[in-house]
Structures are given as C-alpha cells and as structure tokens.
Structure 1
Amino acid sequence: MTSPGNWVEAGGQGAVGIGGDANNAIINPTINLPTPPAPPSALHQLARELSDFIGRKADLDTLEGALNRDDGATVAITALHGMGGVGKTTLAQHAARRVIHRYPDAQIVVDLNGHGEGAPTAPLDAMLRVIRAFHPNLPPLDDPAQARAIYHSTLSGKRALILLDNAASADQIRDLIPPPHCGAIITARALVQPPDCKVLKLDLLSPDESAALLRRLAPNAPGTDDDWTRLADLCGRLPLALRVAGSTLAVTDDLTLPDYLAELADEASRPHRLTIDGDASANVAAVLSHSLRRLIDQDPTLAARWQVLSVFPADFDRAAAAALWEIADAAPPLRALRARSLLLFDEATRRYRLHDLMRPLASSLFAPDPTQDPAPGTADRLATAEGRFALHFIGVLEEAKELYKRGHDGVVAGLARYDADTRNIAAAAAWAIAHADHDPTAQQVAAWLPNAGVYVLDLRLHQRELIDWLTAAAAAARRMGNPGLAANHLGNLGNAHADLGETRRAIEFHEQALAISQEIGDRRGEGQDLGNLGNAHAALGETRRAIEFHQQALVISREIGDQRGEGGHLGNLGLAHAALGETRRAIEFHQQALVISREIGDRHGEGSHLGNLGLAHAALGETRRAIEFHQQALVISREIGDRRGDGQSLGNLGNAHAALGETRRAIEFYEQALAIGREIGDRRGEGIRLGNLGSAHAALGEARRAIAFHQQALAIAREIGDRRGEGQELGNLGNCYAELGETRRAIDFYEQALAIALEIGDRQGEGSWLYNLADELAKLGDVPTAISMTEQALAILVAIESPNAEKARQRLARLRGEAAGG
C-alpha cells in the first residue's frame, strides 16, 4: 500500500487524459457498498454524436490507439496547451464514442471547471459524482481519504471510461485517475501531464476544415469561396468561434454572409459579436476570458506581461518579447504563458503569437477588478510598450539593412529578416507617424525609419507607402530641428515620385531639398540634390538642362573631395549625352567614372559603370563589345552578392543578344532575370523583364504570346503605381496589335499610352506614341491626321534632341508625298 498523495502506475485498460494524468491511482482497501443498479443514463453520459464533426482524423486515431489497448494507457490532450474553444471536449467525446466497446460498463463525464465561473471542482466532489453514478443512494461524505477508497473500490474490476473535462491542474486530477482496466480522458487548457501520460496538442482547424465546418453548419447561406475563407480567418479557425458563426448564419434569416463579414471586421469588437444569446458556452469572449481571469488570480505580474504582448499585431520572436518587457531572458515567462495556453507557438519558425480573438481582450484585462492591476496600470503600461515596440522594430529594420549590405546570401537573409516582421514593422511605422507630433519616441522613430530600411524598403515597400513614410519622416526631422535629415527625406521623396513617373512633383521636392542644403551649407547634400534634379529633367526629355545640373553637382563633389559622388555624377552625364545620341562623349564620361570606382574600391559602382558602357557600345552597334561589358558587370554583381545587379546585367545581356537577332538566347537571359526579380521581390524589375519577354516573343512573330507577357507587365506597373511603366506597356500592347493587323485596337492602346505621357510630362514617350499613332492612322487612310501627328512627334523629338528625329522627318516627307500624290 502506498501513502496518500503518491502516484502508482495505473495498469489495465486505458486512462485517457486531455491535459491530465492517469498513472498514479491510490490503492485502498475494498469498501462494501449497497449494490442497487444505477440508471443507464447515469452510467452512460457521453453527449450525442455530432453530425457536423469535421477533421481531426490524426488526433482521433491517436486517442483511439491510446485508449483501445489491453494493457491500459493514459492519454493527455492539451489543445494548443489547452486553448479555450479549440474543441478539446468535443474531440474527447467523439473519441470516447469510438471506444465504447472497450469500456461498456460506464462512460462518465466530470466537469472539473478548471476555467469557468466559480472555483474549480474539488477532487472530493469530482470523486463523489463518479461514485454516485453507480451508487445514487450514497450518503453524504466529507472525508477525502474515505472517498478515495470508495472511488477505487467502485471502479475496480470494471471497464469504465472517465472523461475528466476542463481540469485546472495535476493536483486536481491526481486522485481521479481510475484503476486498471479503466480509461481516463483529461482535457485542460494548461498543460496537465501525469507520469507516462501521452500528450496530444490540439491545433486550430486547417483553413479548408474551417471553411467546410462553416458550410456544413449554414448550408443554405450563399457565399463565395473567398467569403467562407474570410469568415474562417475572422474566427481565427477556432472551432468554438466557427460553430457560433455558422449557427448564427443558419438561424438568422436577415443576415447575409457579406453583412456578417462586415460586422466582424472590427477586431476590437469581434470576440464579443461571436456569441449566441442565452448560451453561455457559445460566448467566445466569455469562454476565452476564463483563462485570463485565472491567470490574474494566480499571477498578476505575468498577466500584465501577457497584456503587453497584445501590442504585437502579428507573430514575434523571443527577442521582441524581451524588448517589450525590458528583461534579458524572455524564455521563462513565455513558457509560463504557453503552459497556460495563452500563447500560440510555431515550432518551425520558433515564433509566438496571441490568437486573434484573444488580443482584443487585453486592453480590458484588469477592468473587472482594477485593484489587481500591477503598477503602473494598464494605460501607462500599454503606452510604454508601444514606444518600446517601435524602437525594437526600427532596430530590426536596421538589422535587415545591414544583412542586405553584406551581399551574397546576406541579400536574401536581409529580405527574409524583414519579411518575418513585415506586419510588426508596418505597425511600428503607423504608430510613429500617428503620434510623432506629441510623443518624443514616436518622433524619433518616424524621423529615422526610412533610413533604417534603405535597400530593403526599395524592394518591399509600395512606393505610395514609402512616400507616406518619407513625408512623415521629413516633418518629424523638422520638428526635431534637423534640417539636414529633412532635406535627405525630401530628396528621397523626389526619387519616389520619379519612380512613379510623377516627375514634375519629384522636381518640386528636389528643389525644396536643394534650398535647405544650400541654406545650411551642406555641400554634399547640395550635390546630391543637384544630381537628382538632373535625373528628373532627363526623365522629362530636358536633357540639356539635366546636363547643367549634373555639371554643377560634379563641381561640388570635386570641391569637397567626394570621389564616390564624383563617379556617380560622371555616370549621369554619360547617360544624358547618350540620350542625345552623343554616344562617344557618353563613353568618355562612363570611362572616367569607371576609373574612379576602381580607384576607391567601389565594386558596386564599378559594375554600374561597366553596364552603362555596355549600353553605350550597344547604341553604337558594337554589340559584341557591349556583351563583354555586361558580362564583366555580371561577374561583379555575383561577386558582391548584388542580386538586383544580377538581374539588371542579365536583362542587358538579353537586350544585346536580341539586337544580334539571337532571340532565343535573349529569352534565356530574360527568364533568368525574371526569376531573380521574383526571388527578391523586385516588382519593378519583374515587370521590366516580363516586358522584355513580350518584346522578344513579338520579334519571333509570336504576337499572342507577347501580348500575354505585356499584360502581366502592365498589371504590375498598375499595382505598384508606375505610370511611366504603365504607359510603356500600353504602347507595347499597341505594337503587338499593330503587328496582328488589328489597327483600331492598336490605336486604342497608343492613345492610352499617349494620355499617360502627357499626364506625367514624358516628352520622349509623347513623341514615340504620336509617331506610332500616325503610322496606324495612315493605314486607315487618314493621312491628314497622320501628317499632323507626325509633325507633333517631330517637333518633340527635335526639342529633346532625340536620335529618332531623323526617322520622323523621313516619315513626314513620305506622308506629305502620299498626300500630294493622292
């Protein structure tokens, strides 16, 4: 005989514990009791079979295998460490029904109220419920030792299955483990694991299972697949929430699925809306709150730490939790919260998260009893956490940038670091922008956020969103009294607008930045601003004016000894002269820039200048030499791990081989470049390569296939807001339809392209699309309009000193000849 309180091995038929233990029953002398048979309903208490039970096959098989054994077993199921509403009880009842043949004498359910209204069920009361199922006339009993002896005597020799539901702790269920030949299923939110107990962690339903359950519960509610998937997501794939939502749709005639989605859209109120009136077990917020109230009673400090984690809008790592809690090691409290099923954990990523339906409950965590709220109180605690959150994730952004700058595998690692915390970084930015006018921490974060993510943000952030960040950063820098930083952000704002084809707006920002740089005597900044203005005017086709700005920038860089800047301005001068058709002069500038890059060890700049030399020699028709330069540029980009540079060089090699008529080879290079663009998330680069592939297939006479590529490129340009790229792809589509002889359709695309060129001030594009329109109108016999458009095109091409002006002049002469002859 063992002493009370010790565990002894429970042999025999099988004890199943969902969050519980089964191996340590206490062996006591047999107690003789009256033996009137109990009513069948008292001994067979399992709920009716659920006709809409979905999924869980692997979990059911595990449970059944543990219970359906001759040697006895104890199985503990913890639903994501026992999260409320995940379906522990439902699964336990379902599994129990599958093994009734193994436990024919009784199947008894005991609600231990581990998480619910009131105190947990005392072990004495739980044992009495089981005993009275067999002996309803048992007199009152208040001696735990005697009850324990009677409990084991009652179950001894029987094949009974005891479902110990909603256990609070291992202590609560220690005396409830039945003797051999019986089974026990224990459900619990917190991890309850007696010795030799098999633990089954119950996860959320899969997206498909969640949608299927909703459809089965509300079979007559119309909705698209996307609607049902969205509803499943709003329910957090939590079975309780899914059942409430499905049942609500099924019984509410005037509630449509789209309307219900709108009702549940607000995260803060969502848990409270997921309820069925009159059914306390179907109140999602109340069910989830039971765990929180228990946590507050047991450990208010840990509860306050859990509350702080609600600042995270997405999953997070241990370092982030430590930053918010300002502790060195976050592992112990995180483990404690996981054990209470208040945190979800992804084994693959090693990241944590609050369930989406738990997060909204955090702000009112201590509202029922503010006296339990540790200092400094909820409001101050969450406000402080938001500042720490923002500071931590600006640090994550810096980390991603530094990884990216290492090149090679660092590029992918840096992007992956950003991707892991995309939502958290975005939330930090949103908070900083919203509070920068009155919160010093928010102001600091807002002012430095764009610089922290240089390179990475270029590939990951939509230009419109980047513009919002830069606008806020410039304003915050001004409030901080840092005009140089403000000018830097204004310059980047100009570049962002230029990338969207909004060149006139870009010039406004560059002019503002220039004025500040000149006012504070920042010569380096002044040179950068002048260079940016040069690039903007070049994009407008105002190449002579662009050259003036680049020359001024070059003077400053030489004056202050900024060799890197000097090389950049020389390269820009080369591009400007190339645009004027002055290719030999362009080559001279690129060669000077190349010398400087090699002298200062700027491998990135060296690769860029080699690529520009390749473009210049290609313009001279020296394609083989161009290929040599692009190959050298590719070697450097691979050496330094510049994946974007790889894509550019591969694209340039594709262009060169296309110029040689080696279109199939060109396609191979374009496809490699496209793969890189997709790998690193360079949407602009991806669109350019799709356009290149379209042009290549058009050159092969595969106009229909070319159209498919240009349509994809057009979609990307519109997605990222690239108006210049959009106009280019519309014009390319016009070219394809012109090739197919679909003249009116070609005209439609050219007119759309022309409208964009006029809108954004793209003089080169305007001239090109007027020229193409004239060609198509001439095919329709409208020679007068064709002449008028060619005249307009010629005037523009002459004004911008385009090498194509002579081609337009020849066409105009031919059209006039046709008109005179006709």
Structure 2
Amino acid sequence: MTGDFGRTLRARRQAAGLTQRELAQRAGMSVRAVRNLENGRTAAPRGATSRQLDAALETACGPELWIGVLGPLQLRVGGRSVEVRGTKTATLLGLLALQPNSAVPREEIVDVLWDGRPPASQAQLVGVHTGRLRRLVGPLLQAVRGGGYRLAVDAAQLDLLRFNDIADRFGYAEALDCWRGPVLGGRLRQHPAAVALADRRVALALSYADIGPPADVIAMLRPLLADEPMHEGLHARMVLALAASGQQVSALQHFERVRSMLVRELGVEPGEELRAAQLKVLRGQTVVGERNCLPRDLPDFTGRDDELRALLDDPCPVTVIDGMAGIGKTALAVHLAHALAGRYPGGTLFLDLGAGHDPLSACDALESLLRQLGVEGERIPVRTDDCAALWRALTADRRVLVVLDNVSGAAQVRPLLPSGGRAILTSRTRLSSLEGVRQLSLDVLPDPDAATLFARMLGRPVAAAEVLRLCGFLPLAVRIAAAKLRAHPSWTVAYLADRLRDEHLRLGELRVGDRAVDAAFSLSYQQLTEPQRRLFRLLGDCPALEFDVDAAGALVENAEQLLHDLLDAHLLLEPTPGRFRFHDLLRQHARSMAVCDEPDRASAQLRLIDHYLHRAAGAADALEPTRRRWDTGGTSPFAGPAEAMAWLVVEHENLVAVVAAASSRGLWTPCWQLAQCLWRFFFLRGHLRDWVLTHRLALAAARRCGDLRAEAETRKNLGLAHWRRASFAEALDHHYQALLLDEREADVWGRAKTHNHLGFIHARMGHHDQAVHHQQSAVALYQDAGDDCGQARAQIGLGDAHFQAGSIDASRVWFARALDLTRLAGDRWGEGLALIGLGFARREHGRPLLERALVLTRALGDRWSECLALTGLGIHDHLAGATDRAVSQLRGAVSLARSTGDRWGLRLALSAVGRVLSDRSEAVAAHEEALELTRSLRNRHLEAEVLADLAAVAGMCSA
C-alpha cells in the first residue's frame, strides 16, 4: 500500500506540473517528507497531511497549455489531458518540442515522419498534420521562412525547458525530478536532440549520485536504470549507494544481475568502473565518508574573505555560523567545507536539520548520519542515547567533516557532534549554551561585496547602489533582485530600484520562483513563542527606528527578556549596548505581520507614543526648568540637563518619527505636545530640518484640536526655526499670527514671548528701532506676569538690539542687568547668553566672561551658544595678538555654525576668521562666503561692513 500511494502521489504531482519542492511548499511540508512518501520510505499519511496534499494538488494552477516530453508525450489544455490523435501528428509535436523556439526545417520534418521514405503527397500531408497540431496548440505553432515550423513555448509550458532551467539554477535533485521516463517514451529516442537530452539526464544523475544521500540516490537511480539498463556508470553508483545505505548484500546481488545481463545481451564482462564498485563493497570501503556528500559550492560565492581566513585556520573542532535568515550561513558553511574537505580523509557528511519547518529530531538525525557512515539499518539502535553512543564511537578515530545545517537549538544538535574530526553548524539562533565551540555571527555583505555578487549573477558589471541599499545588502535579497533583473531583459536597474522603493511593496518584489525573502523570514518567525511573536509584531509597527528596553516595555510585559530572545533569534540587531533595531527588510516583515495579526496594534502604539511624550516632556523640563508650560504628568525622569540632553541626542530620530506617526494616526494632542517638548533641543543642537518638519505637523494638529494657545506657542517655535534659517518673512508671519492669538486669549506670558522673539528677528534684519520696541514690550509684559526669567531674556534681547545698532554702552548696561537677573532666577542658559553678550560688548576684560560662558554652554549641550562664545573668544584673541589661538577658536565656531545651520553665526565667524587669517587668498574666500550669507540675511548695514572688510583684504592682496 505504501508503494502504491507513493507511485500515485508522484504521478499526480507530475501531472500537475509540480516539482517535489513546489508540492512541499503548497502543502506546508518539507521536501524530505514528500520525497520519502513518493519513494515508499514513509507510510501513507492520514488526516490533515493527506488533506493538505490533496488540496495542494487540486488547486495547482498550471499554464493553460502544457507539453511533456520527458517521458511519454503529454499534452494538457486547460488542466485536462488531451490525446494527440494520429501517430504522425504526435511525432510532429514531439519533434518540435525537442527543439523548442527553434526553426525545424520542412526537410527534417518529412524525414522524421516517414523515416526517410516520404510519399509523393508529402507536402499535402505535412499540411494536414500541422493543421491538426495547430488546432491543439494554437498560435504556439508558428510557420517560419523556408517552409519549416517552430514551437514557441516557455518553461511554464514545456517540461524540457523547465528541466533545463531548474538544472541551471537549483542543481541535480530538483531537475531529475522532472523526468517520467525515456524521452517521448522512446518514440524519437535516436533523434540527436533526444540523445543529447538523455545524455544530460544521465550526466546529472551521475553527479548527484556522487554527492547525494544514499537513500535518495537509490530512489533516483531505479527508474533511470529502467530507461538506461546498459549504462555501467549508473549501475556502479547503484552498487555503491546500496552498500552505503547498509545493504551490502543487495549491492553484491545487483552487481551479479548486471554482470549476467551484460554477458547474456552483449557477451562482455563488466567494465573497470563497475568492477571497482564491487571491489569496494567486498573490502568494506563504501562508507559515505569516502565520498564528498556536500551540496555543490556556489560558483558565484562572493565575499566573507576575513571570515574564511579565520575559520580555515581555526583549530576549534566545532564552528557555529549564525545569523538572520538570508544572510548566507549555508553558503558560507558549504564553501568552507569544500575548502576543508581535503583535510578530512574520513569523508564529509551533510545533513539539513530543517529548523523552523519540519525539524529533524535528534534520533532521526543520528539515524541519517549513521546510515551515511555505512551502518546497516538493523544495527541502528532505537533509543536516542544508544544512537548517540554509537555515533561517538564510530567518529572517535575517524577524521570526518560534518556539516549540520539549520540547527534549531543546542538540545537538537548536542548529540550529533562527532567525537573526532570537525563539525560546522549553521543556525538562525545563537547557540550560546553549546560548550567549546567557535561562534561566528554573520552580518550583511559590505557594499563592495554586495555589488560584486550582483554583478556576478548578472554576468556583467552594473551600477546598482540603490538596489543594493533597498535590499539591505542581505545576500538572499541581492540574489533575488539580480535573478529578477536577469529574468526580465527589458528591465533596467533604475526600473528595478523604482519597484523596490515602496517599502510597503518591497518584500513582495523580492520573490523569484520558489525563493522569497519574506518566506525565509517566516520560518524564523514560526520558531518563536507567542509572546516573542507579539513583541516582534508590535516593534515592527513602532515608528521609532531604534528602541530600548523602556520603549519595548511600553508595548509588552517582560520586555527585556523578550528583546534578548529576539536578538538571539537574529530577528533584532543590537548596534550599541541596550539599543535594538531591525534590519530594514525584517522591519517591513514585522510590520506586515502586525497589520495582519495584531489585535492590540492601536492601543499598543498609543502606549508607546505616551511613553515618548512623557520622557520628552521630562527632558524639556530638565533642559529649561524655568519654562514649564503644561503639566507633564509626573516628575522628570532625568537628574539634570546633561542627562536629558544625552537622551534627546540618542532618541532624536525616533522622536521625529513619533511626531510624524502621531500626526498620521490622528493623535493631535500628543502630536503638538511632543513637538513643543523638542523645540528647545532643536534650538540648542541646530536640527533645523527636523524642527520645521515636526512643528508644521504640530501646527496642523493644534489647529485640528482648536487649541489657540497651542497654535500660538507652535507658531512661535516654528517662527524661531525660520529665524535661524534666515527665512525672516516666514518668521515674522508666524509671530504676528501668534501675537493675534495671544491677544485673543489675553495671554500676557504668550504676548511677552512673542515680542521677545520679534525683537530678535528684527535685530537680525537690521530693523533696530523695531527690535528695541519689541524687546521693551517684552520686558514690561514679563514684569506684569511676574516672570524674572522671561524678563532677563528680554533684557538680553535689548542688549542685543542696542549692540546691533552700534550703541555699545547701552548694550553693556542691559547685558549686565540680564546677567544679574538670570542668576537670581536660576536660568543657566540665559546666564550663558548674557555672558556672551557682555563678552562681545566689553572689548577689555571680556575674555573671562566668554570663557565662563563656554563652560556653561558645553555643560548644557548648547552648540548654538557655544558657536557664539568661540567666535567672541577668537575675536578677543586676535585683538590680543594670539593669532594661532584665534584661528583655532574661529574655525571651531565655523564648524559648529555649519553643523547647526545657523547662517547668522556662520557669517559672524567667517567675517572674524577672514580678518585673522594670514593667508590672504583664504581670507578673501572667507569674506566672500560671509558676504553671500549677509545678503541672504537682507541686512544692508552688515552687508556694508563685510564689503569694507573684503575690500581691505583684497587691497592687501593686490599690494
């Protein structure tokens, strides 16, 4: 019954046009399980497995028309077999199918149809047969110039093309699985195309017999020997395979049967190859260990040079290669094993343990390894411990190399490690509990190696940097992308990159044939527990690019342990201690899983946004403790401004992403509140693009909420960003709109802040009277509000306005008053700014003030104020004659101004450095850049100053 089921299953599968691998994927089984069923090595399944097989076969959707020549001629139309009536019509179809997409001359057709003796009416009869054939295959039959015909088909329509394609891409076993018998059942067996095709089948079979598992080799050779009974090379390999599988008696009996047949049919004795096989059996030399059982080495294997060098020279007997799905673990292990094979005369064994999908038990794996060593079935113990003991005994004195692929865990593989020789393990999880092993965790390919691999697969060099980036430099993704490009000759690299650019569709594009990145990821996902899967899904939906334990803790309980579980499963990366992130493609896979399977998705993301809001609010309070505007829901989690700044620097990109996520999900209040928490950080660090982006979203959110105070506050902060970018028209527009809202809300504090900002904006534009007016209004309003800190900052603004207008004595007075008030209010940031202003205003004795300011600004992480302090110090050093020190200070200021996007600060530093530099050509370049910046500020007074400096330097150059 088992054999009947296997034969029936094979026939149904081949009739559906499926390989064993394709049927296994459709039925949710392993290839090994399907192969064992078809070969009668496993009992016929019942229940769910049987139903899965039936469903997979019944729903197999092949092409509308399919032709089979690798066995008796078959023709299927619309999924149903069609009998080709008439021997000569069938012969004509077979002849054309043997030479697909090639013109077959009329003379050859006539010669084959009538065996060299055509009738006088041959022309009319050829027309009759081609007409009958056209009614069957339609436009696939094409007439060609000169009177011949062509059968225009692809690999989905003709099994011969499918065989060639699979043989080229996947190797022996899958390709041989396409055959049902001799070519066309022997009808055209002597035709040169049929002979060449049969020869290729035999060549593949011989190659596979040299490397394949003995049981599979036996199953492959039996039908082939029925078609090729006189091929001594095939018989020799059957003898060796039988002996290697523990059937020494059967092997010798097979030799005797072949010898009798040769003597009877041909009158000759067996040749040297067959006799050598018999001699190995008699001498007991047929253990698999004497043969290389490794899969073929990839001809386009690329990179991993450093890893290979280290592993080739590593004396450790057990090497574990782990990494995420698609990273190239098996390819590296096989490549390494081929390089090491000559060192292990006991032979090389290979076993796929099937992690994530039908994994082998330790007992089954031991049985397979023992059979590869030549242990007969009846000698293999039943108990796992006894099998392991026998395995250790047999490998103790034998130098074997064992590759154990797809290890699911330490418990599975521990009994399989040989006592002698060397073992190479691959696993998607870290096997941290294995003792005495060398562990190598693979990363994605470096850019040059990924580019080389892509070019090798295409067979030509190409510029594909964007495609490689979108593939995340993952070897599997790179291979699939190259295969898709190769399969579509009309596609350009740019077109492929465009298809991959949409991250929501990218994984769907990274599929070709039976290979898919998301399918590889799914196997890793299936190995997880449900709590691990849940965190994986929720993190995939997380807007943050990196996350720590606290962020994950907002999503699930026991987050720290689960994060490390995902890290061990290579589903997360840990770029720095305590910080986790996804590979880009894994993030997309996790997000798709969240969209499909996560019921807690919305509430979890709300918890996460609340987590970031609470932390950011605490950081904002720590940076500026005197300026709280709304209840943050608890005490600050940060001990001081330095700790808060460090957290903001690390979480900067995440916080921007969370603001955008809150906006996209309609969470308007958290959106504007989180942006408001970030403006001071952006001001101090100079991330102008993110400042504008987040606050535009926040402004829309505040207006959606109908919260006028929130809108006014957001407009002020957004206006400051435009001020820093020297976009003064936009800065003024936002502030005057904010002032209207402040007045409408009777918000004294809000009006004071708006006037303070307007004073600074007008000062930069050279509108000195307006700047003084707005700062005086701010001072009075802050006094009314009882806000000493605000009053001090407005006084700093008055000092700045008078300084820009050239009233240095008045500026010193206001800066000095502000300094006293900031210290009284405990405003360290304001104190630093007042010190800087006073340091600029005092030509004498200003340097100590600027030095104190520099210490304060650096302690607060304020790069904007640090730039001003360095510029002031450079100017003082220049006046004191310390030219080298002045140049160093000013170049530091230029670098900071460029990094923060502060055009005003950059102009100031460039003008100063231009006056200090001894290299006159370099000084002219600095002044010219300062002039360009000044013109963008639309400040004519400053422009005149820079022009005068430039003229002076240029004059010295000409002199």
Q: Describe the shift of the 1:591–1:128 C-alpha distance in structure 2 as closer, same or farther (beyond 3 A).
A: closer
Q: 1:335 aligns with which of 552, 559, 564?
A: 564
User: Does the CA contact (< 8 Å) of 1:473 and 1:489 recur in 2?
Assistant: yes
Structure 2 distance, partners of 1:306, 1:53, is 32
In structure 1, what is the Cα distance between the partners aligned to 2:867 and 2:948? 31
Inter-partner Cα distance in structure 2 for 1:160 and 1:774: 83
Report 1:517-596 matches (<5 A): 517-596=742-821
User: Could you tell me how far apart the structure 1 residues matched to 2:753 and 2:302 are?
Assistant: 62
Q: How many residues align?
A: 663
Three-state SS of the structure 2 residue aligned to 1:501 is coil
Name the structure 2 match of 1:322.
553
8 A Cα contact 2:429 2:570, kept in partner: yes
Checking the alignment, whether the CA contact within 8 Å between 2:642 and 2:860 is kept in structure 1 is no
Q: Percent identity?
A: 27
Conserved 8 A contact 1:691-1:710: no
The change in CA–CA distance for 1:770 and 1:664 in structure 2 (over 3 A counts) is closer
TM-score, reference length from structure 2: 0.61
In the TM superposition, residue 310 of structure 1 has moved relative to its aligned partner by: 0.5
Q: Does 1:730 align with 2:932?
A: yes
Q: Displacement of 1:480 after TM fit?
A: 4.0
- The within-5 A match list for 1:90-489 is 90-116=331-357, 119-135=358-374, 143-144=382-383, 157-178=397-418, 180-192=419-431, 196-208=435-447, 210-214=449-453, 217-218=456-457, 221-224=460-463, 227-228=464-465, 230-249=466-485, 252-277=488-513, 280=514, 282-295=515-528, 299-312=529-542, 313-325=544-556, 327=557, 329-346=558-575, 348-365=576-593, 378=598, 380-398=599-617, 400-401=619-620, 404=623, 414-436=644-666, 442-460=667-685, 462-480=687-705, 482-489=707-714
- Which residue matches 1:510? 735
State the partner residue of 1:671: 891
**SS of match in other structure, 1:485:** helix
AA in 2 matched with 1:202: S
Whether 2:274 is the aligned partner of 1:56: answer no
Q: Is the 8 A contact 1:78 1:200 kept in 2?
A: yes
**Alignment partner of 2:731: what SS?**
helix
Alpha-carbon distance in 2 for matches of 1:133, 1:596: 87
Aligned partner letter, 1:264: L
Amino acid at match of 1:483: L
Equivalent residues in 2 for 1:775-794, closer than 5 Å: none
Q: 3-state SS of the aligned residue for 2:657?
A: helix
Deviations 1:369-416 (A, max 9, x none): x8xxxxxx52x4222232223222234434554665699997665444
Give 1:96's aligned amino acid. Answer: A
In the TM superposition, what is the alpha-carbon distance from 1:359 to its structure 2 partner? 1.9
Q: Distance in 2 between matches of 1:148 and 1:639?
A: 64
The SS at the match of 2:511 is coil
Is it true that 1:652 corresponds to 2:837 in the alignment? no
- Cα pair 1:110 1:165 within 8 Å, conserved: yes
Q: In 2, Cα distance between the equivalents of 1:763 and 1:651?
A: 22
AA aligned to 2:656 is: A
Asked if 1 retains the 8 angstrom alpha-carbon contact of 2:868 and 2:905, the reply is no
Question: Is the CA contact (8 Å cut-off) linking 2:759 and 2:774 kept in structure 1?
Answer: yes
SS in 2 for 1:267: coil
Unpaired runs of 5+ residues, structure 2, are 1-245, 250-280, 627-637, 954-959
Contact 2:410 2:434 (8 Å CA) reproduced: no
Q: What's the RMSD between the two structures over aligned residues?
A: 4.1
Deviation at 1:768, TM superposition (A): 6.8
- Aligned mates of 1:632, 1:112 — CA distance in 2: 67
Equivalent residue letter for 2:502: D
Structure 1 window deviating more from structure 2 (329-338 vs 625-634): it is 625-634
Map of 1:77 onto structure 2: 320
Equivalent residue letter for 1:383: A
Pair 768,208 (structure 1): closer, same or farther in 2 beyond 3 Å: same
Task: Tell me which amino acid in the other structure corresponds to 2:766.
Answer: G
Tell which structure's C-alpha radius of gyration is larger. 2
Per the alignment, do residues 108 and 528 of structure 1 end up closer, same or farther by CA in structure 2, a change over 3 Å counting? same
Structure 1: distance between partners of 2:421 and 2:885 = 74
Counterpart-to-counterpart distance in 2, 1:607 and 1:399: 22
Contact conserved, 1:631 with 1:653, CA < 8 A, in 2?
A: yes
Q: Which residue of 1 aligns with 2:69?
A: none
| Structure 1 residues 483 and 154: alpha-carbon distance in aligned structure 2, compared to 1, 3 A threshold | same
Work out whether residues 683 and 721 of structure 2, in 8 Å CA contact, stay in contact via their aligned partners in 1.
no
Q: CA deviation at 1:502?
A: 2.7
Shift of 1:141: 8.0
Match of 1:812 in 2: none
Task: Tell me the secondary structure at the aligned position of residue 421 of structure 1.
Answer: helix
Which digits, 9 at most, give the CA deviation of each residue in 1:35-60, with x for residues without a partner?
Answer: 65538799321233444434434543
Tell me the CA shift for residue 194 of structure 1.
6.8
User: Alpha carbons of 1:773 and 1:42: their partners in 2 closer, same or farther (altered >3 Å)?
Assistant: closer
Q: 1:211 to 1:461 in 2, by over 3 A?
A: farther
Separation of aligned partners in 2, 1:610 and 1:127: 78
**1:682 matches 2:900:** yes
Q: Which residue is 1:720 aligned to?
A: none
- CA change 1:406–1:239 in 2 (3 A) is farther
Gaps of 5+ in 1: 1-30, 371-376, 437-441, 618-622, 715-727, 732-752, 777-822
Once the two structures are TM-superposed, the CA of residue 431 in structure 1 deviates from its matched residue by: 0.8
The 1:366/1:125 distance shift into structure 2, 3 A limit, reads farther
Structure 1 residues 43 and 493, CA gap change in structure 2 (3 angstroms): same
In the TM superposition, what whole-angstrom CA distance separates every residue of 1:610-647 from its partner, at most 9, and x where no partner exists? 43334334xxxxx3344465456446656877664443
The answer (yes or no) to whether the contact 2:326–2:517 under 8 Å persists in 1 is yes
Distance 1:670 1:92 in 2: 55
Asked if structure 2 preserves the Cα contact closer than 8 Å seen for 1:231 and 1:261, the reply is: yes
Is the contact between residue 193 and residue 199 of structure 1 (CA under 8 Å) also seen in structure 2? no
Q: Say if 1:38 and 1:464 are closer, same or farther in 2 by CA, change over 3 A.
A: same
Structure-1-length-normalised TM-score: 0.70
**1:3-18 equivalences in 2 (<5 Å):** none
Amino acid at match of 2:871: G
Distance 1:156 1:424, change over 3 A: same
Code of the residue aligned with 2:726 in structure 1: it is G
Seen in structure 2, the aligned counterparts of structure 1 residues 155 and 574 have a Cα distance that, compared at 3 Å, is closer
